[in-house]
Amino acid sequence: MKSVSEHSPNPEVITGTFYFDPSDSIYNGHFPGHPVVPGSMIVHAFLEAIEAAGLGKTCRMIEEFKFREFVHPGECDFSIHASPDGLKCRLYQTFPDRTKTWVTGTIKI
């Protein structure tokens, strides 16, 4: 997994793109012929982005991660918003006519 993180003009928001490499061998068993990114890889990608942005190195709690649909390998946009409740994470994809949210959750540091 490779991520490209960017700070938006608002210092409380991180945006960027995660790239889950379709050639990664993990997809040989998850699931053959219909690869799906494991939820643990998605959460780990958020933790790496948070650390890279200097927002924290120690995760205290992962809360309410909801996986609305299967995420397939490739590029997915993400955002992380700082709030009093923790870091609100969102994985999504933008289409010409709509934005589809795949995953949401909160990480407390």
- For residue 37, which of 86, 3, 5, 6 has the smallest C-alpha distance? 3
Cα separation, 33 vs 71, whole angstroms: 14
pLDDT higher than 60, residue 7: no
For the segment 53-74, the average pLDDT, to the nearest whole number, is: 88
- Compute the half-sphere exposure of residue 102: CA atoms within 13 Å on the CB side of its CA: 22
CATH of the domain at 38: 3.10.129.10
Q: The tokens of 7 are what?
A: 């700070």
Domain count across the chain: 1
Q: Tell me if 58 sits within 8 A of 109, measured CB to CB.
A: yes
Single-letter amino acid, residue 42:
I
- For residue 55, what are the domain limits? 2-108
- For residue 15, which of 26, 4, 24 has the smallest C-alpha distance? 4
For the segment 23-29, the average pLDDT, to the nearest whole number, is: 88
Q: Which residues contact 69 (CB under 8 A, 6 or more apart)?
A: 100, 102
pLDDT tens per residue across span 27-57? 888 788 889 999 999 999 999 988 888 887 7
